[in-house]
Amino acid sequence: MPRPKKDIALKDLQGFKTIKKFQKLLQQANLQEEIEPTEIDPKRKLSKQDYFSLFLFTFLNPVITSMRGLCDASKLDKIQKEVSSHAVSLGSFSEAQNCFDPKLLLSIIKVLAKQFDFSFGDKRLHQLAFELVAVDGTLIRALPRMSWALWQDESHRSAKLHLHYAFLRQSVIHASLTHANSCERAELAKHLEKGTLYTADRYYGGDYSFFLTFDHAGSHFVIRIRNDAVIHELETFALTEADKKAGVIYDKKVLLGQEPTEHFYRLIKVEAYGKTLLILTNIWDISAELIALIYRYRWEIETLFKWIKCNLQCRHLLAESLQGVTIQIYLAIIASMLLFLAIGRKPTKRELELIHLYSIGWATFKELTKGLNPKKRA
């Protein structure tokens, strides 16, 4: 059942307060993790907390756009008091990206995800017994010298961010980073959870054998397949008026492929917004209309990708190793989650600019409250 909504914590939007909240979560997560050998090296001055906090600070203060600028900012008294315990050299900050495990940040993402209420979408979907999760990947452009980030050729380098997004709660619940040429289906297969329903675009439906992965994991899927797929009809189900109104053309039990196996699935054909969609699922007790609606909500993950890249300026990488870029991306996700929790939704670009102005003292709390008035977005 949905939990009662909390009051919008506008006062928590000040950058330093957000960092303090993160540091508290980090300390709690640290208690459950083994101490890394590099952390107890007596020569190490840059702690895990300082390193992660400085990275997070860049997402809350867009005036900082480079590693050198961040290290210079660490010399300021207030930064040393609120963010990093001491000034950090460029060499120390660069070297630290290979010393700290980003898995700790992933555990914080999972903790934050539990704080999100059901606040989005059709209320009928809130009553389902399983979590609805959109999955997809997006490219993060890398520098040519990042040899691990091979993409099209030697001149093009990118990392690929894989996200699991619980769209009814508007919360990321899992993330991973790989080189750009990695297979998104294989990455999803590593992280399937029992009792969860995953919705994904046509790429994930390109290999029919992949659907067995969900059955073996005890999870569900709503995935689009190619319109020219080879289909063997076994049974046709009657459509309701609500199904027809939603653009459902048919709802069938089918086998797939030129040489079909004994594994059958449910196929729903939808015509809406000038497009024809074939949506495959292993769910049988939900109406065709709601299956189509679940797939339509898959688009929410695309808007999240755009928000992270554009509003948090995450296109500019301050690290170069796979581990360092993973840390930066995970902290960008954490920054976005902390902002969402503070105001109850994704802020627009203009609202995020107002938050930054408040953080550096140019906007008053009264002006911030007025600019983020939740009533005008209701």
Report the distance separating Cα 163 and Cα 325, nearest Å: 15
Token pair in block for residue 202: 């046509």
Kindly state the percentage of the chain with pLDDT values over 90: 46
- CB-CB contact of 283 with 289 (8 Å): no
- pLDDT-derived band at 376, boundaries 50, 70, 90: very low
Q: Which of 1-15, 30-44, 269-283 has the lowest mean pLDDT?
A: 1-15
Q: Is the pLDDT of residue 68 over 90?
A: no
**Residue of 267 and 147 predicted with greater confidence:** 267
Token pair in block for residue 230: 């080879």
Q: Is the pLDDT of residue 249 over 70?
A: yes
Report the distance separating Cα 59 and Cα 145, nearest Å: 24
**For range 38-63, the mean pLDDT:** 79
Kindly state the percentage of the chain with pLDDT values over 70: 89
- What pLDDT does residue 8 have? 37
- What pLDDT does residue 13 have? 42
The pTM of this model reads 0.87
170 torsion bin: left (phi>0), alpha (psi -120 to 50), beta (else) = left
CB crowding 29-52: b at 16 or more within 10 Å, else e = beeeeeeeeeeeeeeeebebbbbb
- For the chain, the average pLDDT equals 85
Apex 251 CA angle, 247 and 253, nearest 5: 160
- pLDDT (tens digit, 9 = 90+) per residue, 156-183? 788 899 999 999 999 999 999 998 889 9
Would you give the DSSP letter of residue 132? E
Domain segments of the chain as ranges:
10-106+319-377
Neighbours of 220 (CB within 10 A): 25
Report the distance separating Cα 179 and Cα 330, nearest Å: 16
